Amino acid sequence: MANVLYINKPKGITSFDVCFKLRKVFGTKKIGHTGTLDPNATGVMIVLLDNATKANQFLVYDSKEYIAKVEIGYLTDTLDVDGNITEQKECTMPSKEEIINVMNSFVGKSKQLPPITSAIKVNGKKLYEYQREGKEVEIPLRDIEVFYIELIDLNESSFTFKTSVSSGTYIRALTRDILDKLGVIGTLTELERTKIDSVTVLECDKLEDILNGEFHDHSLYEVLSRKYETINFIDPRLAVNGRRLKLKTDKEKVLITSDKECIAIYEKDGDEYKCIRGLR
């Protein structure tokens, strides 16, 4: 059976490390996840095992929620505490009103310059590889959207905010841009991903519990049906071998199932739907 795990990733390890540990526990080579978290970050991570990895491309989520803590007065080359300090100076914390006004100015759609220490590929090479080699590269801007952002804590040296953003948004870069607009320097010191679409951190198992055999197993049906309209076929043979279908829906993509077994993802093609990925 295809398995999906909701994990509360601990601080101090990479997303690759998480998958490496789970590969050993579950004895599988087929494993993937739906979104990387930096080593210093914690929170929601969705991991796919075995046949569930077939659905990875369809689990690009619309929104992700984060809680981020920022300390002012110093800057690192990675924009977070994993990097080396590149600048330090005394900064006066802006007022609550200033911070809120600046944060609100980022709500909506915009272009974002990703960090040079990200894994985005340019000309087939990851940005952090250019950075390590000391080479300059033109970083393409990315379309992002901030759905909401709110200040939840403030003191003399740090502030904390919660935000919901489109998939692919870098919180390190959003923090950098907020600080630039406030006229101070600072670094992202804590980051927790609290939600991926409707999957919350409260639904997630701790990695240490999973490694000890204590976890909740989520079916691929459960995960995909939260994202896609589901159309059930009593006879799954009606939706195999690339057969085109006439369906009573207007959704761009739909999940075809049979008795809660995922059969395929279909995509609208004119007046019909075509199979774009079998999931059995």
Q: Which of 266, 235, 232, 236 is nearest to 251 (CA)?
A: 266
The Cβ of residue 88 has, within 10 Å, a number of other Cβ atoms equal to 10
Whether 38 sits among the annotated catalytic residues: the reply is yes
Assess contact for 254 and 230: CB atoms under 8 A: yes
Q: Which of 108, 107, 106 is nearest to 181 (CA)?
A: 106
Query: Could you report how far apart the first and last alpha carbons of the chain are, in Å?
Result: 10
Beta-ladder partners of 121: 126
Q: Which of 64, 62, 63, 58 is nearest to 253 (CA)?
A: 58
Tokens for 13, please give them: 């390890």
CA–CA gap between residue 69 and residue 54 (Å, rounded): 36
Q: Which of 252, 99, 81 is nearest to 183 (CA)?
A: 99
CA 10 to chain centre: 15
Q: Which of 38, 77, 197, 269 is catalytic?
A: 38
CA–CA gap between residue 278 and residue 23 (Å, rounded): 24
Catalytic residues: 38
